[in-house]
Amino acid sequence: MAAGPVVRQVLKDFHGQVRLVMKYIASNELSEQAAEAALAAWKQGRYWEMHDKLIESSPRFGREDLLRYAGQIGLDKERFAGDLDGMRHRELIARDMRLADKLGLFATPTFFVNGRMVVGAPPYQDFKAMIEKELAGAGKPRLDAGN
């Protein structure tokens, strides 16, 4: 099951109660370009559209592919190309990779729910139950995942 729809439903159902922080694990040049594309789309308010396009099109993450996706989701292609070609998010991605190494993360998606690591995309009902349990306990986070 893809994580995107589950995450969007969680954000809707727990609006104002949960926080989503995205981190990137770029294992090769193509996945780093995909991360750059997602961040460039975020800057134009179209993160989820690009996220979905990248998932749907994986592993086609070459420059021309990414530019085509940008056009398909209505991004300013010139601005997008400048962000992509300028690797404007390189340090952010490198920082995320260092954090992933420090935490021993190797898989995407990986979530932290109040410090509890969840590897993979759980079904919505399982994710919802976990979040409700944490909210009911109102405990302090057990792990700061670099936020």
Are 143 and 118 within 8 A, CB to CB? no
What pLDDT, on a 0 to 100 scale, did the predictor assign at position 41?
A: 97
At 140, is the pLDDT very low, low, confident or very high (cuts 50, 70, 90)? Answer: low
Mean pLDDT of 3-9: 87
Three-state SS at 110: strand
What DSSP letter does each residue of 11-37 carry, written as one string? HHHTTTT----------SHHHHHHHHH
DSSP state of 136: H
The answer, yes or no, to whether residue 79 has pLDDT greater than 70, is yes
The answer, yes or no, to whether residue 142 has pLDDT greater than 70, is no
Give per-residue pLDDT as tens, 17-53: 998 888 888 878 888 899 999 999 999 999 999 998 9
CA–CA separation, 113 vs 95, rounded Å?
21
Q: What is the pTM of this model?
A: 0.76
What pLDDT, on a 0 to 100 scale, did the predictor assign at position 85?
A: 93
CA–CA separation, 3 vs 50, rounded Å?
14
The torsion of the CA quartet 12, 16, 17, 19, rounded to 10 degrees, works out to 80
